[in-house]
A and B are shown apart, each in its own frame.
Chain A
Amino acid sequence: MKEFKPINSQQELERLIERYFDGMTTVEEEDAMRLKLAHCPWSSQAIDDAKAVMGYFAVHSCQQGRHATRGMGQRSIGIAASVAIILAIGGFAIWHQQQASDICIAYVNGEVVRDNDKVMTLVNQDLNRMDNATNAMAEQLSSLGEALELDNE
């Protein structure tokens, strides 16, 4: 950011105030003017008017600064809490995956079957059903093929 040269005299400040009220100042000049007004011991009609006008802004920006400081603290706590929560949830997900990594269970008519062999027998029954269906498909395709061959002869 561009730095404005320091205001070293009351006249310089008054000229700046005049330019400020004419809307001719830059942001850097306004910042420097505010700073000077806040700390300078000088007094004149222009300076006192400027102080009165700037007073609101000074107090307002002061409050904003305080809020910002508090906000930063809250943000840090928020970030820390979020990281902790993400880690906890990640840990839970990994734990859940590990817990879920060895499951062998079946529910038959509302009854729980935990015996691995019985469950795997049920799995085989499932697969056999699918096998029969694919065999039927294969048979159908084969008979279609035969029909086409006969038709072409």
Chain B
Amino acid sequence: MKRITIIILTCLLATMAAVAQNGLNINRLFDGRYKKAAGATEIIVTGSQAREIGLTVYHSVSVTDKTQAEIIENLVVKDGAQAVDKEVEYRNGQLYYGFYTMPRQKRANRYIFFLNQNLARKSPKNVVTIIYMEGNASADRIKKLIRK
């Protein structure tokens, strides 16, 4: 019985891990905490709508709560350490902008964008945005996508 319980728990954990998609630190931000939060916007797009922009998963969170900026930045920087390619800009010791190409998983390319508009020189805004993108699109395609 004990063995069966262990097998069940192992399978459940494996399933949860698979469902949780990607084993990134930023997943903690996508646990639903911002869905009901004032001053926060969370966007989830998968399937046909995501395919329209060349992706399989688009998941973003934008928050106006300054206290969240540091939390988000820390998680992004942790994941950024595993990135295979990155473009980052720090301002006053804080991450202003980051575009990270993460190692491929399940044959999909994975990208993380981070932007702290509080640190913008031109018209700063109290908004921190993080975007997770997954799909077959190359980094160049993603960059073109944001420059459309």
Contact = CB atoms under 8 A, between A and B. Distances in A.
Interface of A: 78, 81-82, 85-86, 89, 92-93, 96, 100-110, 116, 119-120, 122-123, 126-134, 136-137, 140
A86 B97 contact: no
A119 B43 contact: yes
Interface residues of B, number: 50
Dominant secondary structure of chain B at its interface with chain A: mixed
A85 B12 CA distance: 10
B147 interface: yes
A89 B39 contact: no
Contact of A134 (B3, B4, B122, B143): B143
A107 B53 contact: no
B129 to A, nearest CB: 6
Contacts of A96: 19
B41 interface: yes
Given A92-B15, A93-B15, A109 B41 contact: yes
Contact of B146 (A82, A122, A131, A136): A131
B147 A89 contact: no
Contacts of B145: 127
A107 B33 CA distance: 11
Contacts of A119: 43, 45, 49
Given A103-B46, A129-B115, A133-B120, 10 more contacts: A82-B4, A82-B8, A93-B15, A103-B47, A106-B44, A110-B35, A127-B148, A134-B146, A134-B147, A137-B87
B67 to A, nearest CB: 17
| A96, A128, A136: residue with the most chain B Cβ atoms closer than 10 Å | A136
Contacts of B121: 136
Nearest to A131: B146
Contacts of A108: 41
B71 interface: no
B47 A101 contact: yes
B44 A103 contact: yes
A23 B87 CA distance: 77
B89 A104 contact: no
B36 interface: yes
A53 B36 CA distance: 76
B128 to A, nearest CB: 10
